[in-house]
């Protein structure tokens, strides 16, 4: 489901488990957004990895060399900081799509390494951060480069997605490839998640590339058009979706008791 003609038209996708950035740089995603370079990095189950199956996105402005990280993972701070330094970038912001329950954000350690870096999360998350996002905010992270903040509560009440009309949409746990984040803990609300997806994400152009926070099946990206028509949960009616979500019978997240308190500080400590 991940590979589509739409994606190939807009750019290739790469999942990168980086073993040594000093020896081998990952391949950037070929972005259709001029002046930007983007890497999709992955936290897998290897030695010194967190095992969270989380995608972290490094996006940089080719002119100013300013960079942002979306959803950094604590266990991957060395990978990320090495890559940023190797590329000669200046990390300005760590953006978190929400207060994660399955891993601890790397924002705090990255702030200690990169003195200019600020952590960001939505105001609605209730977490501490240097910068709080509001719904519909336009966040200019480098000269001429703006991310639109889409409020998408449902997985948690503070979930946001980041949309760049040329790059794509970073959907966190709100919309995953052929799935979505669970709604049975934190402030989860299946009804609300469905509305968020339909009102904020499925209204985007069909060829918009979807970059989720996680994938557990080896996919790397999708498109809004593909998810709208084939997502086994979200292509259904709202009542069918809510029933599906009520009957997932998922186990208690292993790291939630550590990750949520840590992430409520979002790197501000």
Which residues are known to be catalytic? Answer: 98, 100, 102-103, 155, 173, 214
CB of 126 to Fe ion, least distance (A): 15
Give the closest residue to 38 by CA, choosing from 205, 226, 169. 169
Residue with Cβ nearer Fe ion (36 or 129)? 129
Alpha-carbon gap, residue 207 to 224, rounded angstroms = 6
Residue with Cβ nearer Fe ion (60 or 196)? 196
CB of 125 to Fe ion, least distance (A): 11
Q: What is the 3-state secondary structure (H, E, C) of 202-269?
A: CCCCCCCEEEECECCCCCCCEEHHHHHHHCCCCCCCHHHHHHHHHCCCCCCCCCHHHHHHHHCCCCCC
CB of 225 to Fe ion, least distance (A): 24
Burial (CB count <10 Å: 0-12, 13-18, 19+), residue 218: exposed
- List residues near Fe ion by CB under 5 A: 100, 173
Q: C-alpha angle 257/98/69, rounded to 5°? A: 110
Residue with Cβ nearer Fe ion (100 or 233)? 100
Residue with Cβ nearer Fe ion (137 or 174)? 174
Question: How does strand 168-172 pair with strand 160-164?
Answer: antiparallel
Alpha-carbon gap, residue 220 to 238, rounded angstroms = 26
CB of 10 to Fe ion, least distance (A): 26
């Amino acid at each position: 489901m991940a590979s589509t003609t739409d994606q190939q038209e807009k750019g290739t996708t790469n999942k990168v488990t980086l073993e040594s950035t000093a020896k081998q740089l990952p391949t950037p995603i070929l972005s259709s957004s001029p002046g930007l370079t983007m890497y999709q990095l992955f936290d897998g189950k290897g030695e010194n990895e967190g095992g969270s199956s989380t995608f972290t996105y490094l996006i940089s402005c080719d002119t100013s060399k300013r960079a942002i990280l979306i959803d950094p993972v604590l266990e991957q701070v060395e990978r990320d900081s090495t890559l940023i330094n190797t590329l000669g970038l200046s990390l300005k912001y760590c953006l978190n799509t929400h207060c994660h329950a399955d891993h601890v954000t790397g924002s705090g350690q990255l702030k200690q390494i990169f003195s200019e870096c600020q952590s960001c999360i939505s105001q609605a998350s209730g977490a501490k951060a240097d910068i709080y996002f509001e719904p519909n905010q336009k966040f200019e992270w480098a000269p001429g480069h703006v991310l639109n903040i889409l409020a998408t509560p449902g997985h948690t009440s503070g979930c946001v997605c980041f949309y760049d009309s040329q790059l794509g949409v970073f959907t966190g746990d709100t919309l995953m490839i052929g799935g979505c984040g669970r709604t049975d803990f934190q402030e989860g609300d299946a009804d609300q998640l469905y509305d968020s997806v339909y009102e904020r994400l499925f209204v985007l152009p069909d060829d918009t590339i979807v970059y989720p926070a996680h994938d557990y099946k080896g996919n790397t990206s999708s498109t809004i058009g593909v998810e709208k028509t084939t997502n086994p949960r979200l292509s259904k009616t709202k009542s069918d979706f809510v029933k599906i979500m009520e009957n997932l019978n998922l186990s208690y997240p292993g790291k939630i008791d550590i990750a949520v308190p840590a992430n409520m500080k979002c790197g501000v400590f």
